[in-house]
Amino acid sequence: MLTRFFYSLILTLFSPFLLYSLYKKKRGKPSVGKRWKEHFGFTPYIPSCHKPIWIHAASVGETLAVTPFIKQLKSHHPEIKIVLTTTTSTGAEQAERLGDLVTHRYTPVDFSFAIKKFIQIIKPSQLIIVETELWPNTLNVVSKANIPITLLNARLSEKSYRGYKKVLPLFIPMAKQLSKVLCQYEDDAERFAKLGVAQAKLVVTGSIKFDISITDTVLTQGNQLRELLGKDRPIWIAASTHDGEDQQLLSVHRQLLSTIPEALLVLVPRHPERFINVTKLSKEFGFQTLTRSSGSAISHDVQVYVGDTMGEMLTLMQASDVCFMGGSLVGKKVGGHNLLEPAALGMPLLIGPSYYNFTDITHALVAANACKIVHDHVNILTQLNIWLTDKQQREISGQQALCVVNKNTGAIERSLDQIALV
């Protein structure tokens, strides 16, 4: 109790900075606008929505991860109502793409009064938290209201484990308040157990991210884009890049053009507020640059194609030959991004040395010779030259990536089996 008091005090002191980061206007970033009150629990009432399932996904990545789960849940139980909350406006934008499957609300900041107000209005039957978005006051209030709390697709990296261990007095009450923890891997379950989560609450269901459904629409749109980009051009995509990576990858592309002059780089920044700056950077490098949003005709002299739209990553990947996954060349700040989407498209993969958020997935793909861990410009350039000039090697590695995905499907069904829907 005393620990949570001091936590709440610290949260109060730092909340202005948290809210500033949420509300700060950036070019390309959607605005929270008049919905800011939702962060304080003043959420609009939802008519004809009796005891919905409350699913919380912090931002874009978690929303994308939980989308197949939501679709499968609704296909099995169309009568169930779902309220999907996100913290960020970019997450909200992604949630809106689910249409009638969910009702979106911003999740309250972790103040007890805000959580209580939200629960009074929404009256959820249970809370499902995607991955490991644990907030002490939220769990305390929800648990006291006798609302079951499930962690879905839970993961706990060694780094996160060490972090929680430092604040163990704060974590132990949360461990007791969790009803069930559906872990991606045995390693995750072991770390949760070391932090005090009862063994009876831990179930290894696998990663729901393996249950990827690539629609015919995505394949068709990707193939159509490939025709526009150049059917016979060697094309590589740098997906979900962060500040500091674009410069490195543009430098690699400059060197690549000396050996494969017709090569095209599809460059897709992780955050929409960076679209304009990355486009400008590409032009400063001297590349003929075109943006996806421009809608302009794609001439053969275009060297860099910037993916500056939302929700089209799979389409852009399908139009490419090789994928480099961003968030992996920026030291220990990010820890990589999910390799499974390009793997499900049968693409050979490159990732930098920082991938601690996706260690198991990365190692499985590396073991299958579907992914290469690249440490510097030379590594990236060498492997690109191999895969972009040797179609047979590229296709073998791509098929191995697809095999890894196919061998690990079924996590959504296993997770649904563990969640009481009555």
Q: List the one residue out of 88, 96, 81 whose CA is nearest residue 39.
A: 88
Q: List the one residue out of 416, 61, 352, 65 whose CA is nearest residue 210.
A: 65
> Which of the 8 DSSP states describes residue 122?
H
Q: What is the DSSP string of 291-343?
A: EGGG-----TT--EEE--SSS-HHHHHHT-SEEEESSSSSTTSS-----HHHH
Catalytic residue among 38, 62, 312, 341: 62
Nearest 5°: phi and psi at 164?
Answer: -65, -35
> Which of the 8 DSSP states describes residue 298?
-
| Chain centre to alpha carbon of residue 264 | 26
Fill in the amino acid letter for 357: N
> Which of the 8 DSSP states describes residue 57?
-
Residue 413 three-state SS = helix
Establish whether 62 is a catalytic residue.
Answer: yes
Q: From residue 292, how far is each of 105, 122, 144, 229, 296 by CA, in Å?
A: 30, 39, 49, 11, 8
> Distance between CA atoms of 361 and 366, rounded to whole angstroms?
9
**Which sign does the torsion angle of CA 315, 317, 318, 319 carry?**
positive
Burial string for 217-241 (b: 16+ CB within 10 Å, else e) reads ebeebbeebbeebbeeebbbbbbbb
Angle between helices 2-23 and 168-177 (to 10 degrees): 90
Question: How many alpha carbons lie under 13 Å from residue 125 in its C-beta half-sphere?
Answer: 12
**Which sign does the torsion angle of CA 317, 407, 152, 329 carry?**
negative
> Distance between CA atoms of 235 and 265, rounded to whole angstroms?
6
Nearest 5°: phi and psi at 109?
Answer: -60, 155
Nearest 5°: phi and psi at 350?
Answer: -125, 140
Nearest 5°: phi and psi at 202?
Answer: -95, 125
- Residues catalogued as catalytic: 62
